[in-house]
Amino acid sequence: MDCLFCKIINKEVSSDIIYEDDKFLAFKDINPKAPIHFLIIPKKHITSINHLQEEDKMLIGELIFLAKKIAEEKNLDGYQLHINVGRNGGQIIDHLHLHLLANK
Ligand code: 5GP
Ligand code: ZN
């Protein structure tokens, strides 16, 4: 599958990884829109929120929970979580990802 984020997961494309486990990967956005800008992605290829199945409910909960854990570890004093959905929703990469943005 020709998916940039799957290639990042498989280490075919390099990235600045800040967290990895069996289900998720988090790395720095290549074009940060804030002093801290991480992308947190499931290793399972899900195209977007619009493509979630019933079976993905748990995974999406874990994705949000991981964002909280990373924010704690990085001592972030407030942050924003964004998910863009579809071209008209600003989604460019068709592999579900959670943006974590913070000023510190
Ligand atoms: P979207 O607009 O799809 O929600 O966000 C895609 C994000 O991926 C953008 O913020 C963009 O800067 C980031 N991005 C695109 N290509 C790469 C890449 O090759 N490496 C990394 N680390 N981030 C990327
Ligand atoms: Zn993918």
Q: What is the 30 CA–ligand 1 centroid distance (Å)?
A: 6
For residues 65-92, give the mean pLDDT: 98
Q: Is a pLDDT exceeding 80 seen at residue 1?
A: no
For 80-91, the three-class secondary structure string (H helix, E strand, C coil) is: EEECCCCHHHCC
Domain 4-102 has CATH 3.30.470.20: no
The answer, as to whether pTM is greater than 0.95, is yes
Q: What is the 15 CA–ligand 2 centroid distance (Å)?
A: 15
Residue nearest to atom 16 of ligand 1 (CA): 30
The single residue of 45, 95, 97, 99 carrying the catalytic annotation is 97
* Dist. CA 26–CA 74, nearest whole Å: 13
Ligand in nearest proximity to the CA of 8? 1
Q: Give every strand in the sheet of 80-82, ordered side by side.
A: 17-20, 24-28, 36-42, 98-102, 80-82
For this structure, is 97 an active site residue?
A: yes
Q: Give the chain's radius of gyration (CA, Å).
A: 13
Q: Domains of the chain: which residue ranges?
A: 4-102
Tens-digit pLDDT profile for residues 57-74: 999 999 999 999 999 999
